[in-house]
Amino acid sequence: MITCSAPGKIFLFGEHAVVYGKTAIACAIDIRAHVTVEEVHVPAVQMKGPGGNVDLNQRKHPYIYAAVEKFRNLADLPPENPTSASGSGICIDIHSEIPVGSGLGSSSAVTIATLKSLDVFYGTHLSPDEIARFGHQVEEEVQGRASPTDTFVSTFGGLVRIPDRVKLDFFDAPIVIGNTRKFSSTRKLVSNVASLKERHPQVINQIMDTIGTIAETGVKYVTANDFTTVGELMNINQGLLDSIGVGSFELSELVYASRKAGALGSKITGAGGGGCMIALCEHKNLSRVAHSIKRAGGDSFICRTSNSGVRVEKEK
């Protein structure tokens, strides 16, 4: 039996502008998806469920299914049609602390933890680069289009500059996450921004350039652990995200509630429209900010940035 875990991620700066090649900074957080692979005496790939094990189903578990398919050429997996053979199979169990569909990279964390668990279980010795690449391919197969950022951060952890995917000196910071619990479609938001940019190219191109400049400027301050300036830059970034139409009433309420309670900086993380916001805080203000976000109607939880990517948790 093998259990691996992989982290979720936030954007400190630069979402949306990164779609146009500008710099962004993403960071792993210490909330993780845990995936266990164990041997079962049934010739099938199964999923552990509340009512017992069920056969892996592409519609119900698209990411796990695509990750398992990646392994078919690499390892001695049970056949797709379990009735046609005898022998043993595997059961996969998932426990994720990362809210689904909220911009924190939950599908990537599950995908990367699954690939690593299969890798260790079958002894295929994939490199971290291969795990990140396969993870990105899995996401593309399931979603059509996927940015490689989430799978890269889930694999390697830490602070990552995008689009060149360079790991920066770690930024160890406490963060409060506020979740609006409103689903948002990344595809739709990216397409809305593209139409806005087509209608007002001179205006929006400059905003994208400025968001990129904020991220580039931010590199210096995150690596120097200058929380005050990072917070200030996050607030400027938030204003520009609002200006390109990816904010929402609920997100603004959580952003301002966190600032009122003393957050050094707060902004949307991910595509916006709903999903989550992040607040950078001093230790002394963490609970105050978390409570203030709750009072404003969001779910909130305190986490930290994390330098740890995918890892083996348990092996028996």
Q: Which residues are catalytic?
A: 150
Smallest separation, CB 39 to ligand MEV (Å): 36
Q: Which of residues 17-56 bind ligand MEV (CB under 6 A)?
A: 18-19
Distance in angstroms (rounded) separating the CA atoms of residues 303 and 22: 27
Give the binding range for ligand MEV (CB under 6 A) out of 16-24, 65-73, 118-126, 208-216. Answer: 16-24
> Strand 45-49 to strand 89-96: parallel, antiparallel, or no bridges (unpaired)?
parallel
The contacts found for 281-289 with CB under 8 angstroms, 24 or more apart, are: 281/174, 281/175, 281/176, 282/174, 282/227, 283/174, 285/261, 286/174, 286/176, 288/261, 288/262, 289/176, 289/258, 289/261, 289/262, 289/263
CB atoms within 10 A of CB 102: 22
Number of residues in contact with ligand MEV under rule CB under 6 A: 11
Smallest separation, CB 229 to ligand MEV (Å): 23
Which listed residue (103, 135, 178, 231) binds ligand MEV by CB under 6 A?
103
Nearer to ligand MEV, 15 or 119 (CB): 15
Which listed residue (2, 15, 135, 197) binds ligand MEV by CB under 6 A?
15
The 3-class SS string of the chain reads CEEEEEEEEEEEECCCHHHHCCCEEEEEEEEEEEEEEEEECCCCEEEEECCEEEECCCCCCHHHHHHHHHHHCCCCCCCCCHHHCCCCEEEEEEEECCCCCCCCCHHHHHHHHHHHHHHHHHCCCCCHHHHHHHHHHHHHHHHCCCCHHHHHHHHHCCEEEECCCEEECCCCCEEEEEECCCCCCHHHHHHHHHHHHHHCHHHHHHHHHHHHHHHHHHHHHHHCCCHHHHHHHHHHHHHHHHHCCCCCHHHHHHHHHHHHCCCCEEEEECCCCCCEEEEECCHHHHHHHHHHHHHCCCEEEEEEECCCCCEEEEEC
Give the binding range for ligand MEV (CB under 6 A) out of 10-18, 236-244, 250-258, 259-267. Answer: 10-18
Q: Which of residues 188-227 bind ligand MEV (CB under 6 A)?
A: 190
Smallest separation, CB 69 to ligand MEV (Å): 23
Nearer to ligand MEV, 265 or 270 (CB): 270
Task: For residue 238, state whether it binds ligand MEV (rule: CB under 6 A).
Answer: no
Nearer to ligand MEV, 78 or 273 (CB): 273
Smallest separation, CB 139 to ligand MEV (Å): 10
Which listed residue (23, 111, 114, 147) binds ligand MEV by CB under 6 A?
147
Which listed residue (219, 271, 281, 290) binds ligand MEV by CB under 6 A?
271
Smallest separation, CB 200 to ligand MEV (Å): 19
Nearer to ligand MEV, 40 or 194 (CB): 194
Give the binding range for ligand MEV (CB under 6 A) out of 15-23, 84-92, 202-210, 280-288. Answer: 15-23
Nearer to ligand MEV, 18 or 214 (CB): 18
Task: For residue 264, state whether it binds ligand MEV (rule: CB under 6 A).
Answer: no
Residues of this chain that bind ligand MEV (CB under 6 A): 15-16, 18-19, 103, 147, 149, 186, 190, 270-271
